[in-house]
Chain A
């Protein structure tokens, strides 16, 4: 298990499929977590493996992706239903939940990645 700060955000593929949320393309565009090379290797992961991302606000299983441009300790999940399982819902009076910079942990898992529809059911 490693400690990370989780960032969520827009990607080109997420944006291009955002009006087709019930398709496989959207599912693929938002169901992964990017980790730095160092963190990815430290967890003994290979491409296609799944990880469980946990914060004090929730947990979610997503696919692990290596991103050599990320700094160690930073995890990136595309904005969307998977990221929203773990981000900080508190708004500190601004109305804005904290979608970026949420402390959490990442560990390797054999559990499956839920579909978009299954995700709603577990909320």
Chain B
């Protein structure tokens, strides 16, 4: 039987994909979604120090570790549903820990820029229907969001954009990526020069092009003027930025400068700027703590009230300062994705892992709790990259507990221990 599912891999959260339950195979998916919706090795059973135990025993042990820790780090959250994240925020508050999520190594610098500048944004639907110029800046959708170009941003046909020819696509990157091949204009820049190039574009658009040297960050002034011209003459433009902007020199300041560029363009025409969010619910991993505690990441509850400070309470800062004495890692793999200076501390403290799959974090975890795959074996709500909520489905029965069930039980145990 073929059923409609919602893909729970990347931030595009494709809602037009099909899944054959008997064959356990997807249809219409990209390579990333196909692999998500296919059979692969799972964590077989809850484990404590490598020994198989029941869910109840593993959860009780986890609660004990969290309650006994002075300041546990509860990290991950981007690949689970809002209902589970909500319980995670409450759990972090109860145990006086630090809540942080995958965006802190992804798009969180953009959040810092939004706090300062606000965000002239729009939905994927608007881009599909209206955008006649799309600039992918430091983002590579062909490899990170493979169906985004077809569904929304390049070949998508919409209300006002009826054909690929109606839309100009620009790729700005340090590498000639697969996405560069689909662009009408590719601008190859030197690593770390995003800020300077954005400043040059702002100067040109303001009419101050005499202040711009002949070459900025590996790009000729002539080419920059061509891009500025294209931007000013757009009817509806979109800058879709990726980690090339947030993970390189300048980080949040690059995004801030890009927002200023968009503000300037909005005096002449209509532009938006939006991050190409990675995990399918990394938006939820930020929005849910924002409703619950007022902040989106790097939140410390050790004083009984939430404090936000990315320089202190982001997972990498906490780990490198050796400022947590236990960790709960859910729906994420920091051992594979954090710099080794941070991993070194994770190896030394008790680690609890909740995840459907074995990964590198499993290798350093004391307690391992397998969970159901959201979107396949468990349902819940997720936010697409543009903040549109989707109800992801449960289409397959499984013996695994959902993240929500696991956290509910863990919270119950923690409450018992704290009250007892």
Q: A interface vs B, CB < 8 Å?
A: 5, 7-12, 15-23, 57-58, 69-71, 74, 76, 79-81, 84-85, 87-89, 91-101, 116-117, 120, 123
Contact = CB atoms under 8 A, between A and B. Distances in A.
B363 to A, nearest CB: 6
B247 A98 contact: yes
Contacts of B364: 120
Given A101-B192, A116-B360, A94 B109 contact: yes
Contacts of A20: 35, 40-41, 357
A7 B191 contact: yes
Contacts, number: 175
Contact of A89 (B31, B249, B340): B340
B175 interface: yes
B359 to A, nearest CB: 4
B310 interface: yes
A81 B248 contact: no
Contact of B339 (A10, A21, A88): A88
Contacts of A80: 336-337
Given A19-B356, A70-B176, 15 more contacts: A12-B146, A20-B35, A57-B339, A69-B176, A81-B336, A88-B339, A93-B311, A94-B112, A94-B252, A95-B316, A96-B104, A96-B314, A100-B191, A120-B364, A123-B344
Given A7-B191, A74-B191, A95 B311 contact: yes
Contact of B317 (A22, A23, A71, A95): A95
The 3 A-B residue pairs whose C-beta atoms are closest, nearest first, are A95-B314, A95-B310, A93-B311
Interface of B: 9-10, 31-32, 34-36, 40-41, 100, 104-105, 108-109, 112, 140, 142-144, 146, 174-178, 180, 188, 191-192, 243-244, 246-249, 251-252, 278, 297-298, 310-311, 313-317, 320, 333, 335-344, 347, 356-360, 362-364
B246 A7 contact: no
Given A12-B31, A84-B343, A89 B144 contact: no
Main secondary structure of the interface of B (DSSP, over half): helix
Nearest to B176: A69
Contacts of B109: 94-96
A21 B358 contact: yes
A96 B40 contact: no
Contacts of B314: 91, 94-96
Contact of B174 (A74, A91, A117): A74
Contact of B105 (A5, A93, A97, A101): A97
A42 to B, nearest CB: 19
Nearest to A22: B358
Contacts of A23: 41
Contact of B31 (A16, A69, A94, A97): A16
Given A5-B191, A16-B31, A21 B333 contact: yes
